Amino acid sequence: MLVGAAFVIAIGFGLVAPVLPQFARSFGVGVAAASAIVSAFALMRLLFAPVSGRLVQRLGERWVYLSGLLIVAVSTGASALAQSYWQLLALRSVGGIGSTMFTVSSLALVIRLSPPEQRGRVSGLWSTSFLIGSVSGPLVGGALAGLGLRAPFLIYAAALLAVSAAVYLSLRRSHLAAPEVTGELRVMTFRQALARPAYRAVLWSNFANGAAIFGVRMALVPLLVVEVLRQPTGMAGVALTAFAAGNVAVLFLSGRLSDRWGRKPFLVTGSLVCALGTAGLGYAPDLGWLLATSVVAGLGSGMLTPTQQAALADIIGPKARGGPVLAGFQMAADLGTVVGPVAVGALAQQTSYGLALAVTGALLAVAAVAWAVVPEPLQRHTAESVTAVPCDDAEYQLAHRVAEECEEPRDLTHDERHASPTGSRS
């Protein structure tokens, strides 16, 4: 259910994002003011992340997740009815608060619902669904362009309300809805996590990932395509799609294999491959080179992203709640997304796209070095020590197809066959 919800949320966001600047401009404002609508959403995500972490710590993941979805749904639906630029700015800012609430809590839910030995696989599945939704959203939005600028907001709001209802019904009988017994659930603070080298490494790599993938790539690649390579604007979308293709090709596989071989091989390799692909973008002599390096960067990001999330789950551990720890992880990416385009964009303006993207790649290379020197986050456990929830929890079994976590069938002994009411059957 959480995987399906991530897919729907990503499609809806991709549906709204392309029309948002045009909608803001329809109120008679300039380009800078229209861009501020996007920045306000990202800024509120960044500022409210610590509060979201504390809410998860106090109220639990389920209620923070549902509240965040409802806040985004209501603010998005109201945005469709906005009558002025300032109303739209305020509503999108409120939406940013709801967005960080369900982002932090959904990651916490994924961590608590996934068994430790399958964290990479579950993180890969979750990331893949979100990526496919992000790629599909603009395509759906293009098909609905004839409905006007306000329609995507109403469609997204309705989808979020449907997801909220589905997640509530799915989790209402889950162990997550039950009151926790005092002392049963361990709580990890941000300070405790920061004392661990692996957490410091994951903060830096998520900052570098946010700066390179969600910030610089989205801001500079379209300009590089048009201003340097002299290609039509539509080719920027092709380059972004090439990145997504490389990403989705390895996301799930990398997460699954990291459960078997450990996190570090994929964290180090993924960071280095993404660094090379990102740096190579700036020196592209033609469109073919640009598309090839975009695929390479996508492959590296696909190895890095789900393994990072699995490593974070390893740090927090089973039967634990770490709201502030998750908030710090999310803030690192948001900070990179906000700061990266501004700083690297200024560098590109003063020097060249090649140097600017090489510096961006260097951030990821530093992340690779950081992961190379820290201990392996994945610690092997016995089945008895890692079972975080009862095996008869229906949501646990349905969400991750891990019925094998329950007691495996075994051959009955001679005495048990005679004691069992069904033991005499052949």
If you average pLDDT over each of 88-102, 180-194, 240-254, 353-367, which comes out highest? 353-367
Looking at 2.40.50.220, 1.20.120.420, 3.30.300.30, 1.20.1250.20, the CATH number of the domain 186-379 comes to 1.20.1250.20
CA distance 207 to 258: 21
Range from 44-58, 78-92, 167-181, 279-293 carrying the lowest mean pLDDT = 167-181
Residue 19 token pair: 């029309």
Query: Cα angle vertex 265, ends 244, 310, to 5°?
Result: 65
Interacting residues of 285 by C-beta distance below 8 A, sequence separation 6+: none
Q: How much is the pLDDT for 275?
A: 97
Q: How much is the pLDDT for 381?
A: 52
Q: How much is the pLDDT for 410?
A: 42
Interacting residues of 120 by C-beta distance below 8 A, sequence separation 6+: 254, 255, 256, 257, 258, 259, 263, 306, 307, 310
Kindly tell me if the per-residue pLDDT of 109 is higher than 60.
yes
The full set of domain ranges for the chain reads: 1-173, 186-379
Is 160 in contact with 76 (CB distance < 8 Å)?
Answer: yes
Domains 1-173 and 186-379 alike in fold: yes
CA distance 345 to 334: 17
Q: What is the mean pLDDT of residues 206-224?
A: 85
pLDDT per residue over 25-53, tens digit each? 888 888 668 767 877 887 888 889 889 88
Residue 386 token pair: 């890692």
Q: In 146-231, where do the E strands start and end? A: 186-187
CA distance 342 to 42: 14
CA neighbours closer than 13 Å in the CB half-sphere of residue 376: 12
| CA proximity to 221, closest of 273, 272, 271, 295 | 295
Q: How much is the pLDDT for 409?
A: 42
pLDDT per residue over 371-399, tens digit each? 999 999 987 653 333 333 433 344 444 44
The class level of CATH for 1-173 reads: mainly alpha
| CA proximity to 79, closest of 102, 67, 95, 96 | 95
Q: How much is the pLDDT for 401?
A: 44
| CA proximity to 322, closest of 236, 237, 207, 196 | 196
Q: How much is the pLDDT for 184?
A: 57
Query: What's the chain's average pLDDT?
Result: 80
Residue 232 token pair: 């039509």
Residue 123 token pair: 């993180």
Identify the residue with better confidence: 225 or 144: 225
Q: How much is the pLDDT for 167?
A: 80
CA distance 52 to 65: 10
CA distance 337 to 327: 15
Q: What share of the chain is helix, strand, coil (3-state, %, to 5)?
A: 80, 0, 20
Three-state SS at 212 = helix
pLDDT per residue over 246-303, tens digit each? 988 898 889 889 989 999 999 999 999 999 999 999 999 999 999 999 999 999 999 9
